[in-house]
Amino acid sequence: MSSTRIYILLSTAVVLTVFGFLLFGNEKELDFSTQIKPILNKHCISCHGGVKKNGGFSVLFREEALAITESGHPAIIPGDPNNSELIKRLTESDPELRMPYDKEPLSEEEIDLLKTWIKQGANWGKHWAYEPVEEPKEVQEIFQAGISGNSGSQNPNPIDFYVEEKLEEFGLAFSPVENSNKLLRRVSLDITGLPPSDSLISLYENGKISYDEAVDYLLAQPTYGEKWASWWLDLARYADTKGYERDVSRTLWPFRDYVIKSFNKDKPFDQFTIEQLAGDLLPNPTEEQLTATAFHRNTMNNDEGGTQDEEFRVSAVLDRLNTTYEVWQSTTMACVQCHSHPYDPIRQEEFYESAAFFNNTRDEDTHDEEPRLRFYSVKEKTDIGKILNWVEEYKGEEAAKKRKDFLTFFEPKYEAHIATDFDKAELVDTKWLGIWSGGSAYLKNIDTQGSDQLLMNYRTGMDGSKITIQKDGPEGEILSQFTINKTKGEVIGAFPFKEIQGQNDLYISVFNPNAKPQQTTSIIVWFAFVPTLPGEDQNGYDSIQNSWQNILEFKGTKLPILIENPEYMKRETRVFERGNWLMLGEKVSPGVPKELNSWKSEWPKNRLGFAYWMVDQENPLTSRTLVNRVWDQLFGRGLVSTLEDMGTQSDPASHPELLDYLAWETMTSYDWSIKKLIKQIVTSKTYKQSSVVSPELFAKDPQNKWYARGPRVRLSAEQIRDQALASAELLSHKMYGPSVKPPQPEGIWQTVYNGESWKEAEGEDRYRRGVYTFIKRTSPYPSFITFDAGSREVCISRRIVTNTPLQALVTLNDPVYLEAASHLGKLMIDQNPNPSKAIAYGYEKLMLVPISEQKLKVLTSLYQESFKEFKNDSTAMNEFVLLKDMQITPELASMTVVANALMNLDEFLTKP
Partner 1 sequence: MKQVEKLIQELNQQKLERQTRRHFLMDCVSKMGGLALAPLMFGCDLGGSKSGSSGLNLSERDLNPLAPLPPPFAGKAKSIIYLHMAGAPSQLELFDFKPELAKYHNQPCPESLLEGRKFAFIRGVPNLLGPQANFAQHGESGAWVSDFLPHFSKVVDEVAFLKAVHTDQFNHGPAQLFMQTGSPRLGRPSLGSWVTYGLGTENQNLPGFVVLTSGGKTPDAGKSVWGSGFLPSVYQGVQCRSKGDPVLYLKDPDGMSRDMKKNLVTAINDVNKEEFNAYGDPEILARINQYEMAYRMQIEVPEVMNINEEPEYIHELYGTKPGAESFANNCLLARKLVEKGVRFVQLYDWGWDTHGTDHDGSIDMGLRNKCREIDRPMSALLLDLKQRGLLEDTLVVWGGEFGRTPMQENREGKTQSFLGRDHHGDAFTMWMAGGGIKKGASYGITDDFGFSGIGEQVSVHDIHATILHLMGFDHEKFTYDFQGRPFRLTDVEGELIRKIVA
Our CB check for partner 1 shows the closer of 673 and 910 to be: 910
Q: Specify the residue, 214 or 510, whose C-beta has the smaller distance to partner 1.
A: 510
Residue 777 touches partner 1, criterion: CB under 8 A: yes
Distances (CA, A) of 440 to 470, 763, 844: 11, 53, 75
Q: Toward partner 1, which CB reaches closer, 613 or 843? A: 843
Q: Of the two residues 223 and 807, which places its CB atom closer to partner 1 in the complex?
A: 807
Buried b vs exposed e over 305-325: b needs ≥16 C-beta within 10 Å? eebebeebbbbbbbbbbbbbb
- Please list the alpha-helical segments (H only) found in 708-834: 717-727, 782-786, 805-813, 815-831
Encode burial over 861-896: b for 16+ CB neighbours within 10 A, e otherwise: ebbeebbeebeeeeeebeebbbeeeeebbbbbbbbb
Q: Which is nearer to partner 1, 551 or 849 (CB)?
A: 849
The distance of closest approach from Cβ of residue 307 to partner 1 in the complex, given in angstroms and rounded to an integer, is 5
CB of 325 to partner 1, least distance (A): 11
Q: Which stretch binds partner 1 (CB under 8 A): 61-69, 356-364, 732-740, 896-904?
A: 896-904
> Toward partner 1, which CB reaches closer, 424 or 466?
424
**CA dist list (Å): 785 to 42, 143, 717, 744, 799:** 35, 46, 8, 13, 10
- 335 forms part of the interface with partner 1 (CB under 8 A): yes
Residue-wise DSSP of 374-386: E---HHHHHHHHH
176 binds partner 1 (CB under 8 A): no
| Cα–Cα distance, 60 to 590 (Å, whole number) | 23
What contacts 327, CB < 8 A, 6 or more positions away?
Answer: 235, 236, 625, 795, 797
Footprint on residues 67-126 left by partner 1 (CB under 8 A): none
8 A C-beta contact, residue 678 and residue 231: no
CB atoms within 10 A of CB 303: 24
Closest to partner 1 by CB, 379 or 868: 868
DSSP string of 271-285?
A: HHHHHHHHGGGSSS-
Rounded to a whole number of angstroms, the minimum distance from the CB of residue 29 to partner 1 is 26
- Maximum Cα–Cα distance across the chain: 98
For residues 420 and 426, give the distance between their C-alpha atoms in angstroms, rounded to a whole number.
9
Residue with Cβ nearer partner 1 (544 or 846): 846
- Size of the chain, expressed as the number of residues it contains: 912
Taking the complex as a whole, the smallest distance from the CB of residue 428 to partner 1 amounts, in Å, to 7
Residue ranges in 22-51 that form contacts with partner 1 under rule CB under 8 A:
51
The only residue of 703, 760, 844, 850 in contact with partner 1, by rule CB under 8 A: 703
- Does position 356 interact with partner 1 (CB under 8 A)? The reply is no
Minimal distance in Å, beta carbon 319 to partner 1?
9
Q: Is 881 in the site for partner 1 (CB under 8 A)?
A: yes
CB of 532 to partner 1, least distance (A): 35
The answer to whether residue 757 forms part of the interface with partner 1 (CB under 8 A) is no
Does 183 contact partner 1 by CB under 8 A?
Answer: no
Instruction: Determine, following the binding rule CB under 8 A, whether residue 861 of this chain makes contact with partner 1.
Output: yes
- Told to check if 718 binds partner 1 by CB under 8 A, we report no
Tell me which residues in 783-802 interact with partner 1 (CB under 8 A). Answer: 783, 785-786, 788, 791, 793-794, 800-802
Pick the piece of the chain touching partner 1 (CB under 8 A) from 289-297, 529-537, 693-701, 828-836. 693-701
Choices 299-307, 376-384, 555-563, 598-606 (CB under 8 A): range interacting with partner 1: 299-307
Residue 656 CB coordination number (10 Å): 15
Determine, following the binding rule CB under 8 A, whether residue 751 of this chain makes contact with partner 1: yes
Cβ neighbourhood burial of 509 (10 Å; 0-12, 13-18, 19+): buried
Residue 176 beta carbon to partner 1: minimum distance, rounded to whole angstroms: 14
* Phi, psi values for residue 10, rounded to 5°: -65, -45
Q: DSSP letter string over 727-743?
A: HTT------SSS-B---
CB of 473 to partner 1, least distance (A): 20
Q: Does 878 bind partner 1 (CB under 8 A)?
A: yes
From candidates 61, 422, 541, 554, binder to partner 1 by CB under 8 A: 422
Closer by beta carbon to partner 1, 121 or else 305:
305
- Give whichever of 305 and 604 is closer to partner 1, judged by the CB atom: 305
The residue among 288 and 907 lying less far from partner 1, judged by its C-beta, is 907
Indicate the DSSP class of residue 850.
P
Contacts to partner 1 from residues 523-582, by CB under 8 A: none
Positions in 209-268 near partner 1 (CB under 8 A):
243-245, 247
What is the C-alpha to C-alpha distance for residues 732 and 727, in angstroms, rounded to an integer? 12
Instruction: Decide: 346 and 647 in contact? Cβ < 8 Å.
Output: no
**What is d(CA 570, CA 560) in angstroms, rounded to the nearest whole number?**
20
Size of site (CB under 8 A) for partner 1: 112
Shortest distance in whole angstroms from residue 360 CB to partner 1: 23
- Cα torsion angle, 105, 110, 115, 118, sign: negative
Is residue 696 a contact point for partner 1 (CB under 8 A)?
yes
State in angstroms the smallest separation of the CB of 651 from partner 1.
Answer: 9
Q: Does 910 bind partner 1 (CB under 8 A)?
A: yes
Using CB under 8 A, pick the residue from 782, 837, 844, 850 that binds partner 1: 782
Q: Which CB sits closer to partner 1, 284 or 875? A: 875
The DSSP bridge pattern shows strands 453-459 and 491-496 to be: antiparallel
* Single residue of 150, 262, 628, 778 touching partner 1 by CB under 8 A: 778
| 668-687: contacts with partner 1 (CB under 8 A) | none
Q: Which of 191, 391, 419, 859 binds partner 1 (CB under 8 A)?
A: 859
Tell whether residue 354 is a contact of partner 1 (CB under 8 A): no
Nearer to partner 1, 485 or 878 (CB): 878
User: Distances in Å between the alpha carbon of 382 and those of 38, 310, 372, 387, 549?
Assistant: 63, 38, 20, 9, 15
Q: Residue 614: CB partners within 8 Å, gap ≥ 6?
A: 273, 277, 324, 328, 329, 622
Q: Residue-wise over 791-820: b if at least 16 C-beta within 10 A, else e?
A: bbbbbbbebeeeeeeebeebbeebebbbbb
Q: Are 211 and 183 in contact (CB under 8 A)?
A: yes
Return phi, psi of residue 495, to 5°: -135, 140
Judged by beta carbon, residue 5 or residue 137, the one nearer partner 1 is: 5
* Binding to partner 1, residues 631-660 (CB under 8 A): 642, 644-645, 647-650
Read off the DSSP letter of residue 208. Answer: S
Q: Which is nearer to partner 1, 192 or 778 (CB)?
A: 778
Beta carbon nearer to partner 1, 663 or 789: 789
Cα separation, 768 vs 763, whole angstroms: 10
Between 120 and 179, name the residue whose CB sits nearer to partner 1: 179
- Report how far residue 161's alpha carbon sits from residue 135's, in angstroms, rounded to the nearest whole number: 16
Q: Which stretch binds partner 1 (CB under 8 A): 18-26, 506-514, 657-665, 850-858?
A: 850-858
Q: Which of 306, 489, 763, 833 binds partner 1 (CB under 8 A)?
A: 306
Residues near 814 by beta carbon (within 8 Å), at least 6 away in sequence: 783
| Options 115-123, 335-343, 444-452, 539-547: segment touching partner 1 (CB under 8 A) | 335-343
**779 touches partner 1 (CB under 8 A):** yes
Does 755 bind partner 1 (CB under 8 A)? Our answer is: no
β-pairing, 372-374 vs 558-560, is: antiparallel
Closer of 131 and 879 to partner 1 (Cβ): 879
Q: Is 150 in the site for partner 1 (CB under 8 A)?
A: no
